[in-house]
Amino acid sequence: MKNYFGTDGIRGQVGQHPITAEFMLKLGWAAGKVFASEKRGRILIGKDTRISGYMFESALEAGLASAGIDVSLLGPMPTPAIAYLTRTFNAQAGIVISASHNPFHDNGIKFFSGNGEKLDDEIETAIERMLDEPMVMVESGKIGKVSRINDAAGRYIEFCKSCFDSGFNLKGVRVVVDCANGATYHIAPAVFRELGAEVIEIGVSPDGLNINDKIGSTHPQALQSKVVETGADFGVALDGDGDRVIMVDQAGEIVDGDEILFIIAAYLHEKARLNGGVVGTLMSNFGLEQALIARKIPFVRAAVGDRYVLSELQTRSWQIGGESSGHILCLNLTSTGDGIVSALQVVAAMVASGRSLAELKNQMTKLPQKMINVRCPKSVVASDQVTRAVAATEEKLAGKGRVLLRPSGTEPVVRVMVEGEDEVLVDLLARDLAQVVEGAAVKAH
């Protein structure tokens, strides 16, 4: 059991342990000692645009150097860019200072291995063990050196463009790009512009405090309004660190992660370039599963979290997977979730088919979904009373929907979800099932 590393690195509120400058200094040293035990190498550090990034960048830099590790600073860069650059520079590891889609007062640390993937549990555990040791720096002649990679943005822009099908261009296309005042503010507009599109930018004025503030993939209303207002062909909304994407069609309608995943998979399948099937999560809409199966594309569900989607893809040697939130994995192109690259795959499908984003989205029909959070211990899910109620609910759906009871990993809550074709019935069944769960919780006490 790890004390600091969760499913997506170390994260919390700035100023509260462990998201403090003191801890980051020790974390840099501990990580440096673990990596230096193999060889003296180089670690890249990148960050998003939140104000605390400056402080944590300096602390990590000092800690790594004191352990004898050379450091290369990337400045504000999207999380997937750091994964990519870690690979291309043959670095030992990459560090991202970001709290993704969270507000500015949160921050966190993610690590990438030398191949641009998340660290193995064994390495995270070794870093945590080193955190318990006294901090002793190397002798002066072995202190790590620090440099800055000045062309990092240009390198990553070229990589993103290389992920767009050759021979395609976006001349005559108008797109609104929302960068959430985050790490893609100087990247995403350039990618689409250099591919020939007319780009309208929003969320490209970070001030350290406005990252994800009523903008970006978690708040797409600004993008929806701007697409309609400007008569754009579509819109792209990224989150603060650029690993998630939500899109908006010409009418201002949301195209979420499930729909993006479907469009990419269907396009690759049509071109005979889909290696295997698609991995979603327990929360992926049943309509996605139906649409893929109708095209004879295999579909499986992993636990919620991109770490689990990635693991399932690797186990099956498949390439495409993702979450409703817009975290999409295209392992045929890159090693981690990349909002810009994922959006470009959808745009490639539009260009190749001559269809609008709305037309592609409408090839999949999302089923109505109702989710109710019930405060209770997770053990209630296994009670006979609840098990019988779930079976009865599934019987009423008659194979045209599904039921999911999912305990939260962070609070004493069970998420009761029902999906089906009839919105009224779905709502009724979800409420009835939630009442049974509540009753079982009371009975258990």
Per-residue pLDDT tens digits for 97-140: 999 999 999 999 999 999 999 999 999 999 999 999 999 999 99
Residues forming beta bridges with residue 416, ordered by sequence position = 372, 405
How high does pLDDT run on average in the chain?
96
Q: What is the mean pLDDT of residues 149-153?
A: 97
Stretch 146-167: mean pLDDT: 96
Query: Is 100 an annotated catalytic residue?
Result: yes
In order of start, what are the domains of the chain with their CATH numbers? 10-150 (3.40.120.10), 156-361 (3.40.120.10), 369-444 (3.30.310.50)
Provide φ and ψ at 380, rounded to 5°: -60, -30
Average pLDDT over residues 332-356: 97
Among 257-261, 306-310, 439-443, name the most confident range.
257-261
- Is the pLDDT assigned to residue 287 strictly greater than 80? yes
Angle at 112 between CA 110 and CA 114, to 5 degrees: 160
CA distance 333 to 312: 17
Catalytic residue among 66, 72, 98, 100: 100
pLDDT value of residue 1: 75
Confidence (pLDDT) at 37: 82
Beta carbons of 267 and 354 less than 8 angstroms apart? no
pLDDT for 443? 82
> Residues in the chain, how many?
445
Q: Is the pLDDT of residue 155 over 90?
A: yes
Mean pLDDT of 170-198: 98
Q: What is the mean pLDDT of residues 56-75?
A: 98
Given a cut of 80, is residue 295 above it in pLDDT?
A: yes
Question: What confidence score (pLDDT) does residue 166 get?
Answer: 87
Which residue in the block uniquely carries the two structure tokens 């139906």?
Answer: 290
pTM over 0.85: yes
**Euclidean distance between CA atoms 438 and 375, whole angstroms:** 8
Please state, for a pLDDT cut of 90, what percent of the chain lies above it: 92
Per-residue pLDDT band at 238 (split at 50, 70, 90):
very high
Question: pLDDT grade, residue 442 (50/70/90)?
Answer: confident
Among 38-42, 187-191, 392-396, the range scoring the smallest mean pLDDT is: 38-42
Residue 410 confidence (pLDDT): 67
Q: How far apart are CA 312 and CA 303, in angstroms?
A: 9
**pLDDT tens for each residue of 22-49:** 999 999 999 999 999 877 789 999 999 9
Q: Can you list the positions of beta strands (E) in 36-194?
A: 42-47, 70-76, 93-97, 106-113, 146-148, 174-178
